[in-house]
Amino acid sequence: MKLRIVTGSALLTLIIATAAYAANPDEKPTFASVLDHQLTNVEKTVIPAADAMPADKYDFAPTQGEFKGVRNFGAEVKHMAVANYALGAGILGEKPPISLTGPDGPPEVKTKADIMKFLNDSSAYAHKALNSITDANVLEPIKSPFGNNMTTRLALATSMISHPFDHYGQMVVYLRMNNIIPPASRK
């Protein structure tokens, strides 16, 4: 299953690179430029959604239905930032620049302002990581940041681009339960 996801993501990346090259044949796309562009597109959806929730609703989590044990809105946003840092550090072959303290991030990052800064800072780090990917290192075996398995920079990069949408779906539900239309759905 993971191989299918990585293969599909790599194929999609190559299709997008080909389209980008066709649009501007004078600039040959690189792995870094294509992946960086894709992350920018993700951010154009996810970051405005994170910002759309009022500060006093960042601790919102549904209580009716099958929502036991789910993250609250702020924790969803923090989790995406943690993933950016962890995946970025894996791509760069270094320790994350901050202590992540688990999948939901540092407990002292609590307010909407703190969480939005955490998310934006993690995005800058993610772009730094993606821009370090070259033709020579894109498929080089590297240690996964999530255990002793080996992976590639391309696999981590495609996870960095796809993972936020797992949590964006929950964010949309939470926004709509609070009568907020997600920015990407506004006309």
- Maximum Cα–Cα distance across the chain: 55
How much is the pLDDT for 35? 97
What letters, b where the CB count within 10 A reaches 16 and e where it falls short, cover 96-115? Answer: bebebeeebbbeebeebebb
Nearest to 21 by CA among 45, 42, 37: 37
How much is the pLDDT for 72? 95
Tokens matching residue 12: 């999609």
Q: Are 155 and 19 in contact (CB under 8 A)?
A: no
Spatial separation of the C-alpha atoms in residues 48 and 182, rounded to whole Å: 8
Spatial separation of the C-alpha atoms in residues 84 and 72, rounded to whole Å: 19
How much is the pLDDT for 148? 82
**Which parts of the chain have pLDDT scores under 50?**
none
How much is the pLDDT for 26? 75
| Three-point CA angle 116, 121, 123, nearest 5° | 95
Sign of CA dihedral 100, 102, 108, 112: positive
Contacts of 126 (CB under 8 A, 6+ apart): 39, 84, 85, 87, 88, 160
> Which domains occur in the chain, in start order?
30-185 (1.20.120.450)
How much is the pLDDT for 173? 94
How much is the pLDDT for 25? 64
Contacts of 134 (CB under 8 A, 6+ apart): 30, 31, 32
pTM recorded for the entire structure = 0.84
How much is the pLDDT for 83? 97
